[in-house]
Chains A and B, each alone.
Chain A
Amino acid sequence: MLLPYLIVSHAVVAVLVPWLVRAIGARAFLVASLPLAASAVWALTQSSDLLAGNEVTASVAWIPALGITLDFRLDALALTMVLLVSGVGTVIFCYGAAYFPARERALGRLVASMAVFAGAMLGVVTTDNLFALYVFWELTSVSSFLLIAHNDRKEHARRSAIQALIVTAGFGLLMLIGFVLLGHIGGTYRISALLAAPPVDSPWLPVALVLVLAGAFAKSAQAPLHFWLPAAMVAPTPVSAYLHAAAMVKGGVYLVARLAPGFADVDPWRALVLTAGLATMVIGGWRALRQDDLKLLLAYGTVSQLGFLTLLAGTGTHVAALATEGVLLAHGLFKSTLFLVVGIIDHKAGTRSISGLSGLWRRTPVLALASLAAAASMAGLPPLLGFVAKEAALAAYLPGHLGSLPRSAATLVLIGVVVASILTFAYSARFLWGAFADKETVAERRFPAPSAAFLAAPVVLSAAGLLLGVLPFLVDPIAQRYADAYTGASYHLELWHGLTPALGVSTLIVAAGVVMFIQRDRVARAQKALPRWPEAEAVYNLAIHGIFTVGLRVTRRAQSGSLPVYLGIILATMLALPGVRLLMAIIGQEVDYPQPSEGLRLWDNPLELVVALILIVTAVATVREHRRFPALILISAMGFGIAGLFVLHGAPDLALTVVLVETLATIILVFVLRRLPAVFPTRPDGWGKRLTALLCAAAGTFVAVSLWLMTHARTDAPVSRGFAERAEEAGGQNLVNMILADFRALDTFGEIVVLVTAAIAVASLVLLNRRDRVVEAPDADLDTTEEEAAPPGAPAAGAATASSTTQEASAAGSGSADTAPPDQESR
Chain B
Amino acid sequence: MSAVLGKPVDPGSPRSEDTAGPPEGWEAPREQWLSTAARPAFGPRSVLLEVVVRLLVPAILLLSIFMLVAGHDRPGGGFAGGLVASMAYVLRYVAGGRRELAAGIPMPPNALLALGLLVACCTAGLPLVFDHPILDTTKVTLTLPLFGEVKILSALAFEAGVYLIVVGLVLSVVAALGARMEAEEEEARAERRRRERRRRRNTGGQL
Which residues of A approach B to under 8 Å, CB–CB?
652-653, 656-657, 660-661, 663-664, 667-668, 671-672, 674-675, 730-734, 736-738, 740-742, 745-746, 748-749, 752-753, 755-756, 758-760, 762-763, 765-766, 769, 783, 786-787, 790, 794, 796-798, 800, 805-808, 810-815, 817, 819, 821-823, 827
Residues of B whose CB lies within 8 Å of any CB of A are 37, 39, 41-42, 71-80, 83-84, 86-87, 90, 94, 98-99, 101-103, 105, 108-110, 113, 116-117, 120, 124, 134-135, 137, 139, 151, 153, 155, 158-159, 161-162, 165-166, 168-170, 172-183, 186-187, 189-190, 193-194, 197
Q: Are B79 and A740 in contact (CB under 8 A)?
A: yes
**Also in contact, A807 and B79, with CB within 8 A (given A758-B169, A762-B176):** no
Shortest Cβ distance from B159 into A: residue: A741
Query: B98 and A752: CB pair below 8 A?
Result: no
Known contacts A737-B71, A740-B79; A787 and B190 CB within 8 A of each other: yes
Contacts A664-B170, A737-B76 hold; do A815 and B176 have CB atoms under 8 A apart? yes
B177 touching A660 by the CB < 8 A rule? no
A752-B162, A810-B108 known; A800 and B39 CB under 8 Å? no
Contact for B177 among A663, A668, A758, A790, CB less than 8 A: A668
Q: Are A731 and B72 in contact (CB under 8 A)?
A: yes
Given A745-B158, A748-B162, A732 and B117 contact (CB-CB distance below 8 Å): no
14 A/B residue pairs, CB under 8 Å, sorted by A = A652-B75, A664-B83, A668-B177, A674-B181, A741-B72, A741-B137, A741-B158, A749-B120, A762-B173, A762-B176, A786-B194, A787-B190, A807-B105, A810-B110
In the complex, the answer to whether A752 meets B172 with C-beta atoms within 8 Å is no
CB <8 Å contact, B80 and A656: yes
A763 to chain B, nearest CB (A): 6
Residue of A nearest to B164 (CB): A752
The reply to whether B135 and A749 form a contact with Cβ atoms under 8 Å apart is: yes
Given A734-B73, A763-B172, A806-B108, residue A752 in contact with residue B86 (CB < 8 A): no
Say whether B155 contacts A742, CB under 8 Å.
Answer: yes
Residues of chain A lying within 8 A (CB to CB) of residue B173: 668, 759, 762, 821-822
Given contacts A734-B73, A812-B180, 16 further A-B contacts (CB under 8 A): A668-B90, A668-B177, A741-B159, A745-B155, A752-B116, A756-B168, A759-B169, A762-B173, A763-B109, A765-B176, A769-B180, A811-B175, A813-B183, A814-B176, A814-B179, A815-B176
- What is the minimal beta-carbon distance from A268 to any residue of chain B, in angstroms? 45
Known: A749-B120, A807-B98. A657 touches B79 (CB 8 A): yes
Contact B176–A752 (Cβ < 8 Å): no
B116 to chain A minimum Cβ distance, whole angstroms, is: 7
Give chain A residues whose Cβ lies under 8 Å from the Cβ of B162. 748, 752
Instruction: Please tell me if the beta carbons of A807 and B108 are within 8 angstroms of each other in the complex.
Output: yes
Bound: A810/B174 CA distance, A: 10
Q: Kindly provide the distance from the CB of B12 to the nearest chain A CB, expressed in whole angstroms.
A: 26
Quick check: A653 and B87 within 8 Å, CB to CB?
no
Cα-based distance from A337 to B16 in the complex (angstroms): 80
Indicate whether A766 sits within 8 Å of B175 (C-beta atoms), given known contacts A798-B193, A800-B186.
Answer: yes
- Would you call B83 and A734 a contact (CB within 8 A)? no
The answer to whether residues A808 and B102 also contact, given A657-B79, A667-B94, A746-B135 and a CB cut-off of 8 A, is yes
Q: Which residues of B contact A734 (CB under 8 A)?
A: 71-77
B76: chain A residues within 8 A (beta carbon)? 653, 656, 734, 737
**Using Cβ atoms and an 8 Å threshold, which residues of chain B touch A794?**
193
Q: Which residues of A have CB within 8 Å of B73?
A: 732-734
B83 touches A752 (CB 8 A): no
Q: Which residues of B contact A814 (CB under 8 A)?
A: 175-177, 179-180
- Closest chain-A Cβ to B45's Cβ sits at a distance in Å of 11
Contact A671 B139 (CB under 8 A): no
Tell me which of B37, B175, B176 has the highest count of chain A C-beta atoms within 10 A of its own C-beta. B176
B90 touches A783 (CB 8 A): no
If over half of A's interface residues share one DSSP class (helix, strand or loop), that class is named, otherwise mixed; here it is helix
Question: What residues of A have a CB within 8 angstroms of the CB of B178 in the complex?
Answer: 668, 671
Q: A741 to B39, Cβ gap below 8 A?
A: no
Residue of B nearest to A727 (CB): B72
* A-B residue pairs, 5 tightest by C-beta: A807-B102, A811-B179, A814-B180, A732-B72, A814-B176
**Shortest beta-carbon distance, A734 to chain B, in Å?**
5
Interchain CB contact under 8 A, B180 and A811: yes
Closest chain A residue to B94, Cβ basis:
A667
A663 to chain B: which residues have CB within 8 Å?
87
Report whether B186 and A797 are in contact in the complex, using a CB–CB cutoff of 8 Å.
Answer: yes
- Return the contact of B124 from the options A749, A755, A811, A823 (Cβ within 8 A): A749
Tell me, in angstroms, the Cα distance from A188 to B174 when the chains sit together: 54
Alpha-carbon distance between A756 and B116 when the two chains are bound, in angstroms: 9
A815 to B159, CA, bound (A): 29
- Which of chain A's residues have a CB closer than 8 A to the CB of B113? 756, 759-760
Contact of A797 among B39, B72, B86 (CB under 8 A): B39
Contacts of B94 in A (CB 8 A): 667
Assembled-state Cα–Cα distance A742/B158 (Å)? 9
Residues of chain B lying within 8 A (CB to CB) of residue A671: 41, 174, 177-178, 181
| A756 near B158: Cβ-Cβ < 8 Å | no
Is there an interface contact between A741 and B169, defined as CB atoms closer than 8 Å? no
Chain B residues whose C-beta falls within 8 Å of the C-beta of A668 in the assembled complex: 90, 173-174, 177-178
Min CB distance A825 to B, Å, is: 12
For A733, A763, A796, A815, the residue with the greatest tally of chain B CB atoms inside 10 Å of its CB is A763
How near does chain A come to B138, taking the closest CB pair, in angstroms? 9
Task: State in angstroms the CA–CA spacing of A760 and B110 once bound together.
Answer: 8
Residues from chain B with a CB closer than 8 A to the CB of A798 are: 186, 189-190, 193
Contact A675 B99 (CB under 8 A): no
Partner of B110, one of A730, A736, A758, A763: A763
Instruction: Tell me whether B79 and A827 are in contact (CB under 8 A).
Output: yes
Give the distance to chain A from B42, nearest Cβ to Cβ, in Å.
Answer: 7
Instruction: Tell me which residues across on chain A come within 8 A of B182, comparing CB atoms.
Output: 811
Whether the Cβ atoms of A813 and B180 lie closer than 8 Å is: yes
Chain A residues near B177 (CB-CB < 8 A):
668, 671-672, 814-815, 817, 819, 821
A672, A741, A755, A814 — which one has the most chain B CB atoms within 10 A of its CB? A741
A827 to B77, CA, bound (A): 12
Using CB atoms, name the residue of chain B closest to A821: B173
Q: How far is the CA of A661 from the CA of B159 in the complex (A)?
A: 18
Contact of B80 among A660, A765, A808, A817 (CB under 8 A): A660
Instruction: Give bound CA distance, A749 to B165, whole Å.
Output: 11
B197 — which chain A residues lie within 8 A by C-beta? 790
Closest A residue by C-beta to B153: A731
Q: Knowing A674-B42, A756-B165 are in contact, say whether A741-B78 is a contact too (CB < 8 A).
A: yes
